[in-house]
Structure 1
Amino acid sequence: MFAMIGLGAVFLCVFGSYAVGGGKIAVILDALPGEVVTIGGAAVCAFLTANSTDVIRHSTAAVKRIFRGARYGKREYMDLLALLYRMLRSIKTKGVLSIEQHIEKPFESSLFNAHPLVLRDVATVEFITDYMRMFSTGVDSPLELDALMEREIEKARHEDLHPAHAFSVMADGMPALGIVAAVLGVIKTMGSITEPPEVLGGLIGHALVGTFMGIFLAYCIVAPVAARLRGIAEEENRFRHVVRAAITAHLAGYAPQVSIEAARKEIPTEHMPKFYELEEALAAVA
């Protein structure tokens, strides 16, 4: 919602102030189609040239999330903590074999199906089951498992940041593409140097629109999109850190309640439930 409001406000502030100051919007609108094709087309083609098919596909999907925000909110974190608590409590009281059937076939598991907000995130389900499986097969060193999880989380973070990096590079190049469009406009103007001043003025105005559009698209549209995608990727990365904290604390010998409390501390502040709020939620699934 705020992303949409922000983009709308950018257009209103820039073009509204131009119109209020006596600028002729018709000049910009007349030049806009050609300049947008030159700058935007070149930027998209450069984007396709510079990035792999996988990055392009993920970037296209990531743009849709600009307006939705991160996938994980307080409800998702609460559901994850409840699932982890039930798994750790079962291991503590009945042994690690008690969850074997659940981690082997999580999408058929009654335990996982009781937490649909987690189950719909396939990557997180695989992350949980992979490390629970490693724990059940004898890898019980907190330091070793923590290091493995940290490396995988960092790898996922690096991959999730690819779209943001790709858009950031595009934003860096757009002002230069605006200059390219402006130079083409100047060349066109020089070819009409014998025309009267009012015609030359219009041609020069068209050329300057190219410079304006390159800067405007770079710093008011594409760069904020890159920053937004970077923030979403960093925020969503915390979801796996919650799993890591819970498993590491459990392997260190802490009780399930304490392990979940350690995991709660990994949740971003805006989504983190209060201690007593989580305690009540865990009591309901006990």
Structure 2
Amino acid sequence: MLGIIGILVIFGMVFGGYLAAGGKMAIIIKSLPFEMMMIGGAAAGAFLLGNDGGVVKHTFKDIGKVFKGVKWKPHDYKELLCLLFELIKLARQSPVAIEEHVESPGESAIFSKYPKIQGDKVAIELICDTMRSMSMNYDDPHQVEEVLDKRIEALEEHRMHSSHALQSMADSLPALGIVAAVLGVIKTMASIDQPPEVLGKLIGGALVGTFLGVFLAYGFMGPFANKVKSVVEEDLHFYKLIREVLVANLHNHATNICIEVGRQNTPAHFRPSFVDLEEALKSVKQEAA
């Protein structure tokens, strides 16, 4: 919703101010299709030239994040803490019983209580791979934390490709606008024998190219890149929470302490209150009983 509002504000303020100052849209509308073809087409071509198919596909998909925002909401963080509580408690009570859940999370009665988390491949792999390693006596907290850190760093680098690609487009658009403007000037020079009113329109049309390149770069592509980056960074906190809780578990803290470590390491705007989490955990305990 905020993304749509932002776009409306950009158009309203830029073109509203232009019209309020006495500007005329006719010259812009007449030149826009050709300038957009040159600038937008060149930017799209450069984008395809500079990225592989996977990045192109993910970039188009990630543009939706500008409007949808983060994937993981405050409720999801509370559910994650409840899920980890159940798994850790079961693993400590019966190391054998936990195996069926980490080996087949898609069929697990515990994971099925949290369908959104169960449907996220990254979260499931982080949880199950780590708990499986613990059952194989790979339980050095520092080594496991290092492994999880590297996995999350690799995930972050991969998910930032879309943001980098969009930022590269934003950086190139002003220069492509100048290219279009220069071509417009060349066209104008070929008509130098025309009267001033004709030359004025030709020069105005050429300047539309410069305007369009800067407008698209700083009004759209730059903010899009920044928003995608922000959403990726926010969503990564969800996976970092998994790391915090599972590493705390390896330090042999009490189960409630492990969950509290995770709660306190949750970003403030996603963090459930202590009371809310306690109520949720009580419900989990009652269901298990």
Q: TM-score per shorter chain, which class? A: over 0.9
What's 1:15 paired with?
15
1:244 partnered with 2:218: no
Report deviation, 1:265.
2.1
Report deviation, 1:93.
2.3
Structure 2 Cα separation of the partners of residues 67 and 49 of structure 1: 27
Q: Deviations over 1:98-130 (max 9, x none)?
A: 210001010011111011121121221112111
Give 3-state SS (helix, strand or coil) of 2:213's partner: helix
Give 3-state SS (helix, strand or coil) of 1:98's partner: coil
Report deviation, 1:57.
1.0
Structure 2 Cα separation of the partners of residues 163 and 174 of structure 1: 17
Asked if 2 retains the 8 angstrom alpha-carbon contact of 1:92 and 1:256, the reply is no
| TM-score, normalisation: structure 2 | 0.97
> How do 1:1-286 and structure 2 match up within 5 A?
1-94=1-94, 96-286=95-285
Q: Residue type of the partner of 1:7?
A: I
Q: Deviations over 1:120-154 (max 9, x none)?
A: 21221112111111111110110010000001001
Q: Deviations over 1:160-207 (max 9, x none)?
A: 111001100110110000000000000000011111111100000000
Structure 2 Cα separation of the partners of residues 100 and 179 of structure 1: 62
Report deviation, 1:27.
1.1
Structure 2 Cα separation of the partners of residues 142 and 10 of structure 1: 50
| TM-score, normalisation: structure 1 | 0.98
Report deviation, 1:266.
2.5
Q: Residue type of the partner of 2:61?
A: A
Q: Residue type of the partner of 2:92?
A: K
Asked if 2 retains the 8 angstrom alpha-carbon contact of 1:157 and 1:237, the reply is yes
Q: Residue type of the partner of 2:276?
A: E
> Which stretch of the first structure deviates more once superposed, 243-252 or 266-275?
266-275
CA RMSD across the alignment: 0.8
Structure 1 Cα separation of the partners of residues 278 and 214 of structure 2: 52
Structure 2 Cα separation of the partners of residues 258 and 98 of structure 1: 22
Q: Which runs of 4+ in 1 moved over 6 A?
A: none
Structure 1 Cα separation of the partners of residues 134 and 53 of structure 2: 36
Q: Deviations over 1:54-111 (max 9, x none)?
A: 11111111011210001000111111111000001112222x2221000101001111
Report deviation, 1:281.
0.6
